[in-house]
Structure 1
Amino acid sequence: MSGAANRAAAPQGPNPVALKLGYAGLLPFVLGAALVWLVHRQVVPHVAGPLAVYAGMVLASLGGVHWGLGMRQAVPSPALYAWGVVPALVGWVAVVMPPHAGLVVLGVMLVACYAVDRRVYPRHGAASWLVLRFRQTAVGSLSCFLAAAGT
């Protein structure tokens, strides 16, 4: 199947189920950031740590999207695969850092992933996903920054 046929057969954007699941995926970010500010100081590491791990897992999946885009191509760009591992590696480093620093790195990396996706998605027929991606990035990164400030 040609590249044009692949794009024509591809969904035009997130279907309602994907949208609901995409927004539901923000709950751990929002809840984690809120709990950092609401729980007793002794409990904060037990809230900030899991929030950082979740953000790291999200980063890994964002990189995986680029592998998926590359796998759809007859002659894939090595840049898709190379970038695809960067978010997971940065997330891994950030998760083992103290939460006050690691959450900042995770928030910055979420923004960086969106910046890359804004360039890559349109070239692969996925531009219509950028509205959801922007909203997820805004809430996820802001949650990481607010949680970092509260640790």
Structure 2
Amino acid sequence: MERPDTMPPVTLWLGLAGLVPFVVLAGALAFGASLPVLGGPGAIRQALVLYALAILSFLGGIRWGIAMNYADQPIALRDFVLSVVPPLVGWAALIFAPGAALWLLTGAFVLLGLYDYGLACRTVAPEWYGRLRLGLSGAVSATLAVAALV
């Protein structure tokens, strides 16, 4: 059995698998490629924004789950409220022009990665979670920034 401070290998593999759409879509934009079924740059940007929204919503849900375990009710309330911010930011990106939406999402992932790393620093989440989130958020932010620059 894994120690609680040891990252379960499945979390790394699933996290890396979650990067695939970011890398493929941003790569297609960077290389000027069209993708089967999706089409050209406009559709690829839209798919990237929608996928980022889905992942932000997922990450907000993780925050909600962590908040349910707090004994301190004011801190729990704060994190319940903060857990709805990522999906709202993702939704807001849908009404921005594609370039601005990608920059907004880039910033959201940077801030959320740092915030989630802080969970581990405060020992609210395992140390491995902080490292995982920081690495994945860095990769996601980089792909979104590349897509925004194209």
**TM-score, structure 2 as length reference:** 0.85
Cα distance in structure 2, aligned partners of 1:13 and 1:98: 42
Q: Percent of pairs identical after alignment? A: 31
Displacement over 4 Å in runs of 4+: none
Unaligned runs of at least 5 residues, structure 2 = none
Quote how far apart the aligned CAs of 1:13 are.
Answer: 4.0
Alignment coverage as a number of residue pairs: 140
- Aligned match of 1:43: 40
Give a deviation string over 1:75-116, Cα, whole Å, max 9, x none.
442111111011110110012322111010001000010121
Cα distance in structure 2, aligned partners of 1:13 and 1:69: 18
Give a deviation string over 1:94-147, Cα, whole Å, max 9, x none.
123221110100010000101211222333132221221111111101111111
Higher helix share: 1
Computed over aligned residues only, the root mean square deviation of the Cα atoms, in angstroms, reads 1.7
- Aligned match of 2:68: 71
Quote how far apart the aligned CAs of 1:59 are.
Answer: 1.0
Cα distance in structure 1, aligned partners of 2:147 and 2:23: 9
Amino acid at match of 2:33: V
Cα distance in structure 2, aligned partners of 1:87 and 1:149: 23
Quote how far apart the aligned CAs of 1:63 are.
Answer: 1.3
Amino acid at match of 1:116: Y
Unaligned runs of at least 5 residues, structure 1 = 1-9
- Aligned match of 2:146: 146
Cα distance in structure 1, aligned partners of 2:40 and 2:24: 14
Amino acid at match of 2:41: V
Amino acid at match of 2:88: L
- Aligned match of 1:3: none
Deviates more, 1:68-77 or 1:137-146: 68-77
